[in-house]
Amino acid sequence: MLIGTNITDWSTVEGAYYAGQGTEAIWLGLSLLLCIVVLVAGSRHESAAYRKAR
């Protein structure tokens, strides 16, 4: 059985099949959150390194 569907065999699938339908917003939100966290952490690190180098 495939994830999120009652299809038991790929030979029964006719046409395009996309298993991730409906979860795009979740992944987009997680990606944005990760990018923001990395930007904030990098900014703090650079600020601390700049203060230390003075």
Per-residue DSSP letters for 1-54?
A: --TTS----GGG--S---TTTT-HHHHHHHHHHHHHHHHHHHHHHHHHHHHHH-
Flag whether pLDDT at 54 surpasses 50.
yes
Task: Give the distance, in angstroms, between the CA of residue 50 and the centroid of all CA atoms in the same chain.
Answer: 32
The pLDDT tens digits for 29-49 are 999 999 999 999 999 999 999
Cα–Cα dist 40/44, whole Å: 6
How does residue 3 score in pLDDT terms, banded at 50, 70 and 90? low
The more confident residue out of 4 and 43 is 43
Query: Which pLDDT belongs to residue 31?
Result: 97
Q: Are 19 and 5 in contact (CB under 8 A)?
A: yes
Please tell me the predicted confidence (pLDDT) of residue 4: 65
pTM recorded for the entire structure: 0.60
